[in-house]
Amino acid sequence: MDEIMIKPALHSAVGGLTLLTALIATALNWTALRKGSPGQGASHASLILLQLLLLAQAAVGIKLLDQGMGVIQKYVHYLGGLGALALLLLPAWLPARLRRPALPAWTATASLLFIVMTFFIGQLYVRGLQNG
C-alpha cells in the first residue's frame, strides 16, 4: 500500500459522489417518511451506500495524509467526514425505545450538512492550492 500513490483528484471525485449520494439519500428518506415506510427499501439502501462511500472517502483521505497532503485542513475533514458517518450510525446505537420513524430522515439531513461543509471547504482549499 505504501508504494501506491493517489492523486487528490480521486478524493474530490469520491467526495462529489458522496455529496450526490447524500442528497439522494436525504430525499429518499424524507419521501419514505411521508409515505409511511421509513427505513425500508431504497431509503434504507441509500443510507448503507452513503456509509460505504464515507468509509471509502475516509480511506482515500487517510492515504493522502500519509502522502503528506491536506495536513492543513485535516480537522475540518475529521469533523465533517467522521461526524457525517457518526450521525448515520446513530440510529443503530440508540435503544429501540428511542428510535423514531423520522430518525433516518433527520440523521440523513444532518449528515448531508456535514458533507456539504466538508466538500466545499475542501474544494476551496484545492482551488487555493491551484491558484497560489
Tens-place pLDDT, residues 18-59: 999 999 999 999 999 999 887 788 999 999 999 999 999 989
Tens-place pLDDT, residues 57-86: 989 988 888 888 766 677 777 788 889 999
Residue-wise DSSP of the chain: -TT----HHHHHHHHHHHHHHHHHHHHHHHHHHHHT-TTSHHHHHHHHHHHHHHHHHHHHHHHHHHTT-SGGGHHHHIIIIIHHHHHHHHHHHS-GGG--TTHHHHHHHHHHHHHHHHHHHHHHHHHHHHH-
Tens-place pLDDT, residues 101-115: 999 999 999 999 999
Predicted confidence band at 1 (pLDDT cuts at 50, 70, 90)?
low
Domain positions in the chain: 8-131
